Structure 1
C-alpha cells in the first residue's frame, strides 16, 4: 500500500486533530493516528474514546485502499522538522512496517492493526436533531461562553456549554455558579425546541478549528452524542447528560442602578487596583456615585490598599458592591464592545454586564455574583 502526500498539509491536519489525544490512554491504540486510504483520499482519525475527530487530505499516486494505525507523537515530531515537500508512504499490509521517504532521507517505523481502533459512536436513528450554524457565529458563542464553564465533579452539567435551541434563535450558556454568560444568536435557529450540553474538551477543539472555517457547521445530536461536521473535519463527542438549571431565573430583572463605563478603562483600573487586594479573596469594591466610579481594594494583613476613580455615566443614589476582581476582569475580557453597562440592584444581588452596542444578530449578557463587603 503506497501513497504520496504533502508534508505541510499532513502536518497541519495532524496537529489540528492531535489535541483530542489524552496524555494517558486506557487503550494503547489511542496513542495512534488511524490512517485510512480510500480512492485517493486519506482520512485520519483520533479518539480518546469520548471524543473522536476525523479529517481528510488529498493524496497522489495511491495504489490500494487500506488502513493502519501510526504512533501519533513520533509522527508529529518527525513532520515538525520537515520543510514542505512530498512524502512517499509505503506500508506493508501484513507486518505494518511503514517507510516514509522524503527528499534526502527516510523514516522507518512500526504501525499497528487498524482493526483494534475503537469505532466512533453512532446517533440513534429516530431521535436525531439537526441544526446548521455559520462557523463564525458558533465560534463567537463558544469564545464568549467557555471561560465561564465550571470544573465541578458534583454537578457535571455545569462543566460544559449549554446549547438552548428554539425555532427563533440559539442561545449558548455557561456558568460556574459565580459567573454566567448567556449569548443568544438570531443568526441561527432550530426547526424544533431542543438542547444539549457540550463538554469543555470538544468545545475547546472547536474553538481551535473554527477560526479557519468559512461556511456553515452542521450539528446533529441525540440524547447521548453529537456530531459536528465542518468543511475538512468531523467531530463526534459524548454529551453531558442531565438537566441544565433554568439560567433565566437567576438573571435579576429591572435593575435600578445602571452604570455606563468605558470597558478598557475599567479593566485597566481593575488590573492595577486588584494587585493590592487580599490574595485569598481578590475582593475589589466598586462605589458608584454621580458620574464616577471608585475602584478600591485593600489587604488588611499587609496594610496595603489602592483606589482609582473613573468617569462614567450614572445618575442615582450612591451605592457600593464587592466583586472578585479576577472574575470581573474575565468577564470584561470576553466582551468586545467599547463601552459596557453594569446593571445593579443591591449589594447582595448579582451584577449584570452587557455591551452598550450588541454585535449584529447577537444578544450577549454576563452576570457576576457579588462578594460581601466588610464595611
Structure 2
C-alpha cells in the first residue's frame, strides 16, 4: 500500500476512530487501527467488539492495500508532524514507513486480515434525525446513567420512539433525566438501551449544525449511526429499563423560579464544604429565599441565600450537590423551575414553559 495524505485530515480521522480502540490486551490486534484503501479514499476502523467506529478520509491512492497500525504510536507520531502532505508506504511484511520532506518514521504493523470486520447492518428499523437535535437529547440525559455494572440495564440510556415522539431517559436510581421531542414525521415504534460509552462518543462526534442529519438503523442487538463521513456501530444493552413513568411527578407542594447561574454557582460553592465525602447540601425554601447550606465538622460550614419567586409552602430537602450541578450545566435557559414536596420526596428541576425536559433528584436523608 502507498498513499499520500494531508496530515491534519489523517490525524482528525485517527482521533475520530481511536475512541473505539480496545484497552484489553487479550486481543492485541484490537489496540490498533485498520487503515485500508477504498476507491479514492482511505478508511480508518477501530473496534473493541462492543463499539466500532469507522471513517473515511480523502487521500491520493498510489497503491491499494491495508494494514493495522498501533493506535497510540500512530496518533502520537502524526500529531507531531507538520501540517503538510505525508506519504505512507507499507511493504509485504506490514512494516509501514511514514515520510515527510527528508524525515521518516517506521512502524511495525499487523496483517489487515487479522482485524475483525465490523458487522454489516443492511436492514432494520431506520430513522433519519437532525444531528443537532439528537446531540442535544444525548447531552441532556447521558450524565445520569449508572456506573454499576451489576445492573447493566442502567448503564445506558433508553431510546424510545412511540406515538410520533422520541424520548431519551437515563437513570442511576438516584436521579433521572428525561428528554422528549415531537417528531415531524411518523416513525416505527422502537425501544432500545444504548451503552453510555456509545452516547458519550456520539456526543463528541455529532455536530451542532441544524442542517446536518444522522441516519439510525436498529436491529435486534445492535444500532448503527451514520453521519458525515463516520459510521458508528454499537451493541445494545439487554434487559428491561425501569418504568420511568411512575417516577415523573404530576404535582408539587412548592414551586420556585430561580436564576440558573446563581443556583449553579451557589451549589458549587456549597459543595466545597459538603458533609464528609458524601457531597450533601441542604436546600431550604423560606419566604421567597432559597437557602443553601453545607458543613463538614472538621473543616467548617457554608450558608448562602438567593432571592427567588416562590409559590407554595416553605420546605427543606437535602441533595447530593453533584447531581444538582450536573443538570444545571446542561440547561441553557436563564431561569429554571424547582418543584419540591417535602424532605422525603424527590425534587424536580424543569425549564420554564417546557415539560419536554424533566430532571428528578432523590432526596438524601441527612441528620
Structure 2 residue 291 is the aligned partner of structure 1 residue 294? yes
Match of residue 22 from structure 1: 22
Shift of 1:295: 1.4
Contact 1:165 1:190 in 2 (8 A): no
* Structure 2 unaligned blocks of 5 or more: none
Asked if the contact 1:131/1:189 (under 8 Å) is kept, the reply is no
Q: 1:315-353: CA deviations, max 9, x gaps?
A: 332211111122112221221111111111222111111
1:121 aligned to which of 109, 119, 122: 119
Match of 1:140 in 2: 136
1:349-371 CA distance string (max 9 Å, x none): 1111101154xxx8211110011
Mean Cα deviation higher: 63-72 or 336-345 = 63-72
Residues 223-273 of structure 1 deviation map (CA, whole Å, 9 limit, x = unaligned): 211110011100111111111111111122111311111111112222222
Confirm or deny: 8 A CA contact 1:161 1:200 kept in the other structure. yes
Query: Secondary structure of the residue that 1:315 maps to in structure 2?
Result: strand
CA distance in 2 between counterparts of 1:111 and 1:316 reads 68
User: For residues 219-368 of structure 1, what are the structure 2 equivalents within 5 Å?
Assistant: 219-299=216-296, 301-302=297-298, 304-358=300-354, 363-368=356-361
Q: How many residues align?
A: 366
Change (3 A) 1:354 1:46: same
| Equivalent in the alignment of 1:101 | 99
Q: Distance in 2 between the 1:209 and 1:363 partners?
A: 24
Q: Could you tell me the TM-score, scaled by structure 2's length?
A: 0.94
Shift in CA distance, 282/91, structure 1 to aligned 2, threshold 3 Å: closer
The superposition leaves residues 153-177 of structure 1 with CA deviations (integer Å, 9 ceiling, x where unpaired) of 2210100111011242211111111
Q: Deviations over 1:160-211 (max 9, x none)?
A: 1110112422111111111110011225665221011111111111111113
Following the alignment from structure 1 to structure 2, what is the Cα–Cα distance between the partners of residues 107 and 221?
A: 42
Matched, 1:369 2:351: no
Give 2:54's aligned residue: 54
Counterpart in the other structure of 2:154: 158
Query: How many Å separate the matches in 2 of 1:141 and 1:108?
Result: 44
Residue 196 of structure 1 corresponds to 192
- Report deviation, 1:52: 0.9
- The 3 A distance-change label for structure 1 pair 41 and 276 is closer
**TM-score normalised to the size of structure 1?**
0.92
Q: Helix, strand or coil for the counterpart of 1:162?
A: strand
What is the rounded CA distance, in whole Å, between the counterparts of 2:226 and 2:8 in structure 1? 23
**Contact persistence 2:135–2:208 (CA under 8 A):** no
For residues 21-71 of structure 1, what are the alpha-carbon distances to aligned partners after superposition, in whole Å with 9 as ceiling and x for unaligned? 1333321111111111122111111111111111001111x2443222122
Secondary structure of the 1:118 match is coil
1:87 corresponding residue in structure 2: 86
Shift of 1:288: 1.1
User: 1:272-304: CA deviations, max 9, x gaps?
Assistant: 2232331233222211122211112233x3373
Runs of 4+ in 1 over 6 A off after TM superposition: none
Q: Secondary structure at the match of 2:207?
A: helix
Provide the residue aligned with 2:10 in structure 1: 10
Counterpart for residue 40 of structure 1: 40
Is the 8 Å Cα contact of residues 166 and 190 (structure 1) preserved in structure 2?
Answer: no
